[in-house]
Amino acid sequence: MATLNLSSLQSLSSRPLFYALPQNTPTLSFNFQPKPSTPARPISLKPYHSEKPRAGVVALAVKSLGETEAVAVSPENDVTAGELPSGSGVYAVYDKNGEVQFIGLSRNIAASVSVHWKSVPELCGSVKAGIVEEPDREALTQAWKSWMEEYIKVSGKIPPGNESGNATWVRQPPKRKPDLRLTPGRHVQLTVPLENLIDTLVKQNKVVAFIKGSRSAPLCGFSQRVIAILENEGVDYESVNVMDEEYNYGLRETLKKYSNWPTLPQIFVDGELVGGCDILTSMYEKGELASLFKK
């Protein structure tokens, strides 16, 4: 009996919006043929309300891959010729010949498919999507495993985009830029007011994130969330550490006066304040950031 090994997923919070199979991680083994005495259990779109889920059992999953309807994708109408959800779940991308190319999971399915279309449009013909209404890590992982097992059972192979070492479908994390410094040092007399330096910085750069800590080591959860969203969106942005008392001395209070915004972090796009973590998170969950960063 043939057996395949699939690598398990790493933490969703630290990975991009869509996933392939990472290397050097624990493996999950499963057989092509189910046990005759144990028929496949149907998967429901809705949570079970009749009983509380047992520990280790995910009560919410999605329809099977075969039961899910495909949605055609095209460059018109913002990539989709139909409707793709912006919620969390599992999705399968088919090429124009109807062959599965990639099965992934995402916190925003529509946004992930949009990125795929930009990078490999020739491999994107249609998409099947299944929403997980309570998208914790366990539920998302189970939905993904369910579709992968079903596809492998039918085809006898792993989708090309999910093969180990694949670099076509998985967006590689960009090299981290250094954080910007607004002054040459705390003890150097500025010839231009700090507020003018902020104004010049946000107007000369497409996206600027003023955060607590560096982009490689944020010092608060809100700043960490902002960095994760920007990098998941593939945004080319500049970051400024407002906690750097040597090179950005006095920046926190001056920035609040400049933007008339009382909290940090703060994100600017094309010289205009977008807001803080809450606003960026809301736009991200609604799939609105792609259009914002295109402007």
> pLDDT value at position 27?
39
> pLDDT value at position 180?
96
> pLDDT value at position 247?
96
Where in the chain is CATH 3.40.30.10? 194-294
> pLDDT value at position 134?
77
Q: Which helix H or strand E contains 275, and what residues bound it?
A: strand 272-275
Residues linked to residue 154 through DSSP beta bridges, in sequence order? none
- Measured distance between the N- and C-terminal CA atoms of the chain, rounded to whole angstroms: 54
Residue tagged 């398990």 (tokens):
8
pLDDT digit of tens for each residue in the chain (295 aa)?
Answer: 444 444 443 333 334 444 443 444 343 333 334 444 434 333 333 333 333 333 333 334 478 999 999 988 876 545 554 578 888 899 999 999 999 999 999 888 888 888 888 888 999 999 999 998 877 888 889 999 999 999 999 999 999 999 988 878 876 655 678 999 999 999 999 999 999 999 999 999 999 999 999 999 999 999 999 999 998 888 899 999 999 999 999 999 999 999 999 999 999 999 999 999 999 999 998 889 888 887 6
> pLDDT value at position 112?
87
> pLDDT value at position 164?
86
Query: Are 232 and 281 contacting, i.e. CB atoms less than 8 angstroms apart?
Result: no
CATH match for 194-294 among 3.40.30.10, 2.60.40.10, 3.40.50.300, 3.40.120.10 = 3.40.30.10
Q: Give the Cα separation of 173 and 186 in Å (integer).
A: 33
> pLDDT value at position 75?
64
Query: Are 234 and 175 contacting, i.e. CB atoms less than 8 angstroms apart?
Result: no
Structure tokens at 267: 């994100």
Q: Give the Cα separation of 175 and 172 in Å (integer).
A: 9
Query: Are 213 and 243 contacting, i.e. CB atoms less than 8 angstroms apart?
Result: yes
**Residue 292: other Cβ atoms inside 10 A:** 17
